[in-house]
Amino acid sequence: MMKKCLFLLLICGGFCLPVDAQDLPISQIMIDGEGWELLSEGHQFTEGPAVNHKGEVFFTDVPTSEIFKIALDGKVTLFSEQANQTAGLIFGADGKLYGTSIGGKAIVQFDNAGKPTAITEGVNCNDLVVLADGDVFFTDHVDGKIWHVSPDGKLKEVAAGIAFPNGVIAWPDQRQLVVSDMKGASLWNFVIAADGSLKHQQPYSTMQLPVGSTESGADGMTVDSIGRLYVCTTLGVQVFDTQGRLSGILSKPQRAFLSNVTFGGPEMNYLYATSKDKVYRRKLKTTGVRFTR
């Protein structure tokens, strides 16, 4: 019987085209009548939206070193005033909030009172991702490098030579890393080895550029549960499918710099966006992922 099945598979393999012909247009994730909704304003430069286990979203105002929390009811409260120009934020599988402190040149972990403790110091950092097993990867746009901090705190350079590595995220399976190049058109993919080193660097996706520009303006990224990649760029949120092909571009919430996005809300189906002085969200027909086991 199994042989027969294999035979059928072979026949189908001959006639059916690869599933690659299938496409994921952004119309599949957009909901009629659901656009960007303003959640918070009056800030200077918002960044680093990060979702906790409840679906609450934290964000930073980089110049003021403040971190705010958006509750599930939409209420915005101050979480920390000691962020020392933290730009990137993400919750680890341990439930702790991690950040990249530009002012402190450190990767930090915040306690429940909003007090940061450095886990790595003396680094140029921009954005970060924390995987379920505690591996931290962060971008260093000053030197064009990617760094890894192992769960036991060892710092190691794992990639170099990218013009302006800005956003960093992992695939939902946490086995491949993606880095956005703000000064170029490429999204760089890497295979993550067990020791945290990165292999097989590839410009897997090409972003659409504004007419007349060679720079994507790419910044923060997030992924959804089927593996779509969402990238903040000058042109809007560029959405890529699981083969690295551009699916489409969601409009920016306002005519201003778009720094970062993350999925949040109790059902993880709202895309939260930080853009200069404001924070927005919009409901989508998909759900985000947390890097848990």
Partner 1 sequence: MRNLTHGIMAVLLLGCSSLLFAQSKYEYGPDSQPQEGVPQGEVTQYRWEKSKIFPGTQRDYWIYVPAQYDKSKPTSVMIFNDGGGYVRDNGHSRAPIVFDNLIAQGKMPVTIGIFINPGIIPAEQEGGKPRRNRSFEYDSLGDLYARFLIEELLPEIKKSYNLTESAEGRAICGLSSGGICAFTAAWERPDYFSKVVSYIGSFTNIRGGHVYPAVIRKTERKPIRVFLQEGSSDLDNLFGNWPLANEQMAAALKFAGYDYQFVMGTEGHSGRHGGTILPEILEWLWRDHPETLNANK
Q: Which of 118, 227, 254, 257 binds partner 1 (CB under 8 A)?
A: 227
- Does the footprint of partner 1 cover residue 210 (CB under 8 A)? no
Q: Least distance to partner 1 from the beta carbon of 202, Å?
A: 7
Q: Which residues contact 117 (CB under 8 A, 6 or more apart)?
A: 108, 109, 110, 111
Please state whether 82 falls in left (phi above 0), alpha (psi between -120 and 50) or beta.
Answer: alpha
Nearer CB in complex with partner 1: 58/204? 204
- CA-based R_g, the chain, Å: 19
- CA distance linking residue 283 with residue 264, whole number of Å: 10
Instruction: Pick the stretch among 11-19, 90-98, 161-169, 269-277 that binds partner 1 (CB under 8 A).
Output: 11-19
Count CA atoms closer than 13 A to 106's CA, side-chain side: 14
Instruction: Pick the stretch among 14-22, 54-62, 70-78, 103-111 that binds partner 1 (CB under 8 A).
Output: 14-22
In DSSP notation, 215-237 reads ------EEEBTT--EEEEETTEE
- Does the footprint of partner 1 cover residue 212 (CB under 8 A)? no
- Does the footprint of partner 1 cover residue 286 (CB under 8 A)? no
- Does the footprint of partner 1 cover residue 211 (CB under 8 A)? no
CA-nearest of 279, 278, 179, 205 to 270 is 279
The number of beta carbons lying within 10 Å of the beta carbon of residue 169 is 26
**Size of residue set near partner 1 by CB under 8 A:** 44
- Does the footprint of partner 1 cover residue 113 (CB under 8 A)? no
Nearer CB in complex with partner 1: 39/187? 187
Q: Which of 36, 171, 257, 287 binds partner 1 (CB under 8 A)?
A: 171
Q: Which of 98, 147, 204, 280 binds partner 1 (CB under 8 A)?
A: 204
Q: Are 250 and 286 in contact (CB under 8 A)?
A: no
- Does the footprint of partner 1 cover residue 168 (CB under 8 A)? no
Nearer CB in complex with partner 1: 4/255? 4
CA-based torsion, 28, 34, 38, 39: positive or negative: negative
- Does the footprint of partner 1 cover residue 160 (CB under 8 A)? no
Question: CA separation (Å) from 109 to 73, 82, 161, 188, 207?
Answer: 26, 12, 28, 27, 32
CA-nearest of 42, 38, 43 to 60 is 43
- Does the footprint of partner 1 cover residue 214 (CB under 8 A)? no
Nearer CB in complex with partner 1: 5/113? 5
Nearer CB in complex with partner 1: 12/211? 12
Buried b (16+ CB within 10 A) or exposed e, 172-192: bebebbbbbbbbbbbbbbbeb
Q: Least distance to partner 1 from the beta carbon of 228, Å?
A: 13
- Does the footprint of partner 1 cover residue 199 (CB under 8 A)? yes
Residues 242-281 binding partner 1 (CB under 8 A) are 242-248
- CA distance linking residue 182 with residue 164, whole number of Å: 5
Structure tokens given for 274: 């930080």
Nearer CB in complex with partner 1: 111/173? 173
User: Which residues of the shown chain bind partner 1 in the complex (CB under 8 A)?
Assistant: 1-2, 4-5, 8-18, 20-21, 23, 25-26, 171, 173-176, 189, 191-194, 199-202, 204, 206, 227, 242-248
